[in-house]
Structures are given as structure tokens and as C-alpha cells.
Amino acid sequence: MASYYYLVATLPTLRLDGPLSFSTDTFLGLCKPLVSEHHYRLLCKALSGEPASHPFLKAYQHFASMVNKELVEQRSRKLSLSDPVYRNDGDKEGRISDIVRQALAQDNVLEAEMLLLALHWKFLDELATLHTFDIEALLGFALKLKLLQRKSLFTREEGNAEFKRLFSNIQTEIANN
């Protein structure tokens, strides 16, 4: 089992309410010369979302899949869509259902997204709890960095620009009909 004491010790502490320290590409650049080729491929798979056989990644990917399936089921229920394709017949967890319900009840889309990001973050904390200087610690860091990178896209300027674009499209569509 490889240990990455130096690499992990040089990484900043990540907080969901904190800034994005650096990009996932920068992180991969830091890791490439310091980790084995196999572990580097695992890190790349973690960041790309590609299915992996590593227990840590499998656990996280299964969790993320449960969240997505619960979102589909609850959104379809909210829209009164009864097609069985929307039903979540897979594994379920109460905390996932609760957070998804809370997120869908939010009037503010950003707050809803932050609830879902926090759910993923907490799961990664639990998954990486006993891993300090091993590949699992790096995988947890990489996935948290990916969450922060997603969060960094939520800016007021881009949100307003997207709203104006959508609103303009709706106005154009109404004018044409």
C-alpha cells in the first residue's frame, strides 16, 4: 500500500464554504510525478466520473448514482410524471431522500445546489475518515476539489447572464407565436 506523506502534507485544507485553491488539472499535474501510474489513472477516473473498480471510487459513484436517481424520482413526482422509467427501484438512503426533498423545496436554485453539494461533501468526509496519506485520501481530495470547482461556477454575473439569455429566448418565442 503506497503512502503519499509529502504530497498529502503539501495539499491545502479544503472547505465547502472556502475558495477553490486550484483547478483539478493543477492537482493532477502535482500528482503525476509523485504517484504511481495506476494511482494516477485512478485519480483521472475519479475526476472524469468514469466507472472504476477501486472500492473508494465505487462507493462514491454508487452514492452519486443514488442521489441522481432520487432526484429523478422526486422531480418526476413533482411534475406528476408517472412513467415507471422515473421510479427509483435501486438502493435508497433516508438522508439522501431528505436532502433531495429539501433541495427541491427551495425557491432559490443556488441554495438547492448547495444542499446537494453539502450532501456529497459529507459523504466524502465519511468515506475518507480513516485515510490520511494513502490513495484514498488523494481520491477524496480530488473529488472535493471537483465539487469546489463546480461551486466556483455559480457566480452572480454568470447567473444573471444566463437568466437574461433564457428570458430573451422566451420573449422571442412568445413574439413568434
**What are 55-105's pLDDT values in tens digits?**
999 999 999 999 999 999 998 888 888 877 777 777 888 999 999 999 999
Cα-trace Rg, the chain: 19
* Residue 52 CB coordination number (10 Å): 18
* Residue 30: per-residue pLDDT: 96
* Residue 90 CB coordination number (10 Å): 11
* Residue 50: per-residue pLDDT: 95
Contact 116, 74 (CB under 8 A): no
CA dihedral over 26, 142, 42, 24, signed as positive or negative: negative
pTM of the predicted protein model? 0.86
Residue type, 166: L
Q: Which residue has the higher pLDDT, 42 or 109?
A: 42
CA dihedral over 170, 151, 24, 38, signed as positive or negative: negative
Q: What whole-number distance in Å separates Cα of residue 16 and Cα of residue 144?
A: 8
* Residue 94 CB coordination number (10 Å): 7
